[in-house]
Amino acid sequence: MSVTRERILLETAAPGESDGAAGSVSAVHVGVLVSGTGTILHAIVDAGIPVELVVADRPCPGLGVAERAGIAAALIERDRFDAGFDRTAYSVRLVDVLIGHGIDLVAMAGFGTILAEPVHDAFSGRIINTHPALLPAFKGWHAVRDALAYGVKVTGCTVHVAGLDVDTGPILAQEVVPVLDGDTESALQERIKEVERRIYPAVLRRILDQGTVPV
């Protein structure tokens, strides 16, 4: 199923050019990876960042955001969420699709699959991520819940260059979000996402303007 859908959605896309050098982006072709609601993708598109391809690892509203914006989208579906998941094979497939579209710069926007070496080898220094906590605190998928449970008075978000170690890599932007009395995970998450929707497109704009990832 995923192959068919992928093929249909990819028909509209035109390949670009990649110079292949780590950390260097000459003609910038941006690909965004999503797994969820896609509000950050939406903000990136609204900010005028020229997104050429959206890839999702599961059916999700983020694909609808891409379709409504007229952006080529690929569903490269994870077929397993347990220990049997072949992370390397998945990563190889993702690299094929990204390179097939001439993507230079990969922006993760709420992408729920940890990527293996093939992706980091192919896009070394050119994968950007936004994380809903002040790294290096509260890494992982439940960062907002974990920060709330710990009882921190402030948390926030971090835009960083992504590497093989999850939620690690040079920090490009960070902003503090106060935790309020009686906060719930969803209320805090939404306030954090409001900030991410502002600072993530700004970082991507800077990379596009400079033609390089500033690390």
142 is catalytic: no
Q: Is residue 13 part of the contact set for ligand GRF (CB under 6 A)?
A: no
Residue 105 three-state SS? strand
Closest by Cα among 172, 177, 180 to 143:
177
Closest distance of CB 185 from ligand GRF, Å: 12
Residues 107-146 binding ligand GRF (CB under 6 A) are 109-110, 130-132
Closest distance of CB 36 from ligand GRF, Å: 3
Given 101, 120, 126, 193, the residue binding ligand GRF (CB under 6 A): 193
Estimate to the nearest angstrom the gap between the alpha carbon of 159 and the chain centroid: 10
Judged by beta carbon, residue 13 or residue 63, the one nearer ligand GRF is 63
Estimate to the nearest angstrom the gap between the alpha carbon of 106 and the chain centroid: 7
- Indicate the DSSP class of residue 141: T
Rounded to whole angstroms, how far apart are CA atoms 195 and 215?
22
Closest distance of CB 87 from ligand GRF, Å: 18
Residue type, position 81, single letter: F
Residues forming the site for ligand GRF (CB under 6 A): 36-41, 109-110, 130-132, 192-193, 196
Residues annotated as part of the active site: 131
